[in-house]
A and B are shown apart, each in its own frame.
Chain A
Amino acid sequence: MEEERKHWNPVLAGIGVGLIMLLTYYTAGRGFGTTGGLTHLVAAFQNWLMPDLTAQSKYFAPYVASGNAAEAYLVYMLAGIVIGAFVAAAFGNDLRLETLRGPRIGAGKRLALALIGGALVGFAARLARGCMSGQALVGAAELSVGSWMFLLCVFAGGFAVAPFVRRQWL
């Protein structure tokens, strides 16, 4: 397990993430989140290509409207996440082009599955109003019933589908 020794201890990292959440509450009065910022970017992208369609979309129109302070907050946070990960990888000598996968699957198949998985997650995160960070972690700490339900269902869905993509990971 040479490779794993490079990683931080997950308990300490988790405590760190918990403290970061508290910092977000203490400064902004809300939890953090990733998909909120991503959705803002998606809406802006579509608005750039197809402004009429976006204006008519009951879902996206509010995102591209002016005065959208709460969303902007998450866009800034997303920028921070990207910078932080890059810096961590750069200083840890961990920047390299690669496709991570189990030993029994080709790179092409892995990329196709990543695309499909991404589409499912993109859709589901909108339906559930958040993702692992913004809904599951933050909501679990807020003791929200909806978030705990989401979290349980994420693992239920994951374990249910796992046998079908076993070759991808093991």
Chain B
Amino acid sequence: MMGPLAKTGVMSASANLYMAVVIGFLLGFTLQRVGFTRATKIGRMFYLRDTDVPVAMFAAVATATLGLSGLALLGLVDTSRFYFLPTYLTPMAVGGLIFGGGVVIGGYCPGTSAAALVTGKIDALAYMVGLFAGTLLFGDLFPVWGEFYRSDYRGVFRLDQLFGVSLGVVVLAVTVLCVAGIYGVRRLQARLWGEKTLSAMASLERKPAAVLALVVAVVVAFFPTQSFFAVEQTAGAMGGWDRWLPNPKQQVYLGPLETGRLVYDYADRIKPLDLRDAERFAQSHLPGALNVAIDQVYTMRLPPGTVALLYGGDPQQTRKALKALWQEKGVRAYAARSDYAELERLYLDPLSATTVAGPSKAEQVELRRYRESIQRGQAGLTGASAPQQPAEAGPRRRDQR
């Protein structure tokens, strides 16, 4: 069966969620059994007094790297459907430094603290209170560091691109690094703290696994692997998964409020596609929109990472266009459930009442914010106040604000 199962239609959305519980269970069970729910084990790795954590990490990275390459080479997964992490280089470096300091002070990382908490570790409770506080601080004072958080965006940026070598060579290099790393940190621990500090199990880490990993890595390195992480057209080339964008497999029609949120949150990569006729488009349209006929959808070129928002088409047209964009072109595409008149009233017409859409107070607040931003043209879109603009796309602006 072709993976990823949840995206090739083999597995339903709800089955995927149950699978998440199973995966989490395996992970939590392993973390506990290998002893990573003990803060002393994690804290002591920074003195090389206990190197089980780095050893396990090296083994996990080698396994997963080889496994991903292997699955792709064997054609068992469609990597163009994968979500890959994007790189925001400087924020990740600064975040890493603070994170490392926090781990040696606190004695856990987030996953191990949750696992440790339920096994009765009181320090894990204190740690998680801190974790919540830190997250709240980040989120509520987001305007202070929001700009930095979004800076230095490199898209999906891999080591092979950085070093200008083939993917297979990088896979081999990472595997060698991991195997050498396991032996290296063990030797260091023995030299600094004595052989006796190595756990009795360390004797199990003998050659077979390492030799096997290296042989597989060498095989992978000499395959023509340049193309198997098909990055250019993946949905993963867009923002972090800490943004709310729904999986198009599960939800493509957006309510009136969600439509505004999409335009607001994805201002740097949204492309509204207006399916109405040219005359009505000329009268008024969403800022930055492109007037397209349904056949044009099949031939148009959109920059990688674009999020398309369809509106104003009849249901059948819209369905066809969504399918064409997502399944054939790999563009994340959504459609507004509202008709154009409603969108215009909610987000464009400065004279209409603002308190019409959401039932709850919080939603009213949200709506007003999107509305103001779209009306001010601050959503990074072009032509906000120029409804007579010709039907071509305006220049895309990535770094607004």
Measured CB to CB, the residues of A under 8 A from B are: 1, 4-36, 38-39, 42-43, 45-47, 51-63, 65-74, 76-89, 92, 94-102, 107, 110-133, 135-162, 165-166, 168-170
Contacts and interface: CB of A to CB of B under 8 A. Distances in A.
Given A70-B245, A72-B17, A154-B96, A14 B55 contact: yes
Contacts of B7: 28-29
Interface residues of B, number: 164
B199 interface: yes
Main secondary structure of the interface of A (DSSP, over half): helix
A67 B258 contact: yes
21 contacts: A9-B201, A19-B67, A29-B7, A30-B241, A61-B261, A99-B122, A100-B39, A113-B105, A113-B106, A114-B124, A115-B127, A117-B103, A128-B91, A128-B95, A132-B103, A135-B85, A143-B170, A144-B157, A157-B102, A162-B46, A170-B49
A123 B134 contact: yes
Contacts of B22: 80
Most buried by A among B20, B135, B159: B135
B219 interface: no
A42 B244 CA distance: 15
B99 A125 contact: yes
Most buried by B among A1, A20, A111: A20
A57 B366 CA distance: 9
B180 interface: no
B102 A120 contact: yes
A103 to B, nearest CB: 10
Contact of B16 (A21, A27, A53, A84): A27
A146 B32 contact: no
A147 B159 CA distance: 10
Given A55-B362, A142-B85, A17 B27 contact: yes
Interface string B99-139: 11111111111111111111111111011111111111111
Nearest to A6: B35
Contacts of B86: 146
A18 B64 contact: yes
A162 to B, nearest CB: 4
Contacts of A89: 32, 37, 118-120
Contacts of A16: 26, 30
Contacts, number: 613
Contacts of B17: 72-73, 76
A29 B21 contact: no
B63 A15 contact: yes
A117 B24 contact: no
Given A18-B59, A26-B71, A114-B127, 15 more contacts: A17-B60, A38-B135, A51-B361, A57-B140, A80-B25, A86-B28, A88-B33, A116-B106, A118-B134, A119-B102, A124-B98, A126-B149, A127-B149, A149-B96, A161-B100
Given A25-B4, A145-B159, A98 B120 contact: yes
Nearest to B32: A88
A56 B154 CA distance: 28
B276 interface: no
A113 B158 CA distance: 36
B6 A161 contact: no
Given A14-B59, A118-B106, A7 B33 contact: yes
B383 interface: no
Contact of A10 (B52, B132, B240): B52
B288 to A, nearest CB: 20
B341 interface: no
